[in-house]
Structure 1
Amino acid sequence: MLRIHFSAGDMARTRVADHPDPLWESVLSLHQLQERQSDPAMLHWQKHVISNGRAPLRLLLPLVPARGYFPDFLTPVESAEGFEAGLDALLSTPRPQLHLQLTRLAKDKPPDPWLRAVAEGGSPVLHRLGEALRAYRHHALGGMWQRIRDRIEADRAWRSRTQCLGGTDAMLRTFGPALRWRPPVLEADYPVEADICLDGRGLLLIPSYFCHRAPVALADPALPPTLVYPARAVVPAATPPPEPAGPHLARLLGHTRAAVLESLDGECTTSELARRVGISLSSASEHAAVLRNAGLVSSNRLRNSVRHSLTPVGLALLGTGPR
Structure 2
Amino acid sequence: MLKFHFTDADMARIRMAGGPDPLWELLLSLHLLGGHDGSVVFGAWKRRIRNRLPGSTRLLLDLAPPRGYSADFLTPAPDRGGLETGIDAVLSTPRGGLRRDIARLAAARNLGARTLSLAEAGSDAMRSLGAALRGYYDVALRPYWAEVRNAIEADRALRARALLDGGTEGMLSTLHPSLRWQPGVLTVASAYDRDIRLDGRGLLLLPSFFCWRAPITLRDPGLPPVVVYPVAHDLGWSRADDGRGHDAREALGTLLGRTRADVLAAVADHGGSTSDLARRLVVSPASVSQHAAALRDSGLIVTQRRGQSVHHSATTLGSALLEGNLQIPQEPSRSC
Asked whether the equivalents of residues 10 and 203 of structure 2 are also in contact (C-alpha less than 8 Å), the reply is yes
Q: Residues 15-164 of structure 1: matches in 2 within 5 Å? A: 15-110=15-110, 112-164=112-164
Segments of structure 2 that go 5 or more residues without pairing to the other structure are: 237-336
Asked whether the equivalents of residues 5 and 186 of structure 1 are also in contact (C-alpha less than 8 Å), the reply is yes
Name the CA distance, whole Å, in 2 between partners of 1:235 and 1:171. 25
Moved >4 Å (runs of 4+) = none
Deviation, 1:88, is 0.5
Deviation, 1:39, is 2.6
Give the secondary structure class of the aligned counterpart of 2:180: strand
Which position in structure 2 is the counterpart of 1:258? none
Which position in structure 2 is the counterpart of 1:174? 174
Give the secondary structure class of the aligned counterpart of 1:53: coil
Segments of structure 1 that go 5 or more residues without pairing to the other structure are: 237-323
Change (3 A) 1:43 1:108: closer
- Give the structure-2-normalised TM-score: 0.67
Asked whether the equivalents of residues 2 and 195 of structure 1 are also in contact (C-alpha less than 8 Å), the reply is yes
Deviation, 1:57, is 1.6
Asked whether the equivalents of residues 152 and 207 of structure 1 are also in contact (C-alpha less than 8 Å), the reply is yes
Amino acid at match of 2:75: T
Deviation, 1:31, is 0.6
Change (3 A) 1:11 1:111: closer
Deviation, 1:158, is 1.6
1:174-207 per-residue CA deviation (whole Å, 9 max, x = no partner) reads 1232111112111111121111111111110000
Deviation, 1:234, is 6.4
RMSD after superposition: 1.8
Asked whether the equivalents of residues 41 and 235 of structure 2 are also in contact (C-alpha less than 8 Å), the reply is no
Which position in structure 2 is the counterpart of 1:272? none
Amino acid at match of 1:222: G
Deviation, 1:161, is 3.2
Q: Residues 280-295 of structure 1: matches in 2 within 5 Å? A: none
Deviation, 1:96, is 1.1
Number of aligned positions between the proteins? 236
1:215-265 per-residue CA deviation (whole Å, 9 max, x = no partner) reads 1101111111101000133699xxxxxxxxxxxxxxxxxxxxxxxxxxxxx
- Give the structure-1-normalised TM-score: 0.70
Give the secondary structure class of the aligned counterpart of 1:229: strand
Name the CA distance, whole Å, in 2 between partners of 1:108 and 1:235. 34
Which position in structure 1 is the counterpart of 2:186? 186
Deviation, 1:36, is 1.7
Identity of counterpart residues, as a percentage? Answer: 47
Asked whether the equivalents of residues 176 and 229 of structure 2 are also in contact (C-alpha less than 8 Å), the reply is no
Asked whether the equivalents of residues 21 and 79 of structure 1 are also in contact (C-alpha less than 8 Å), the reply is yes
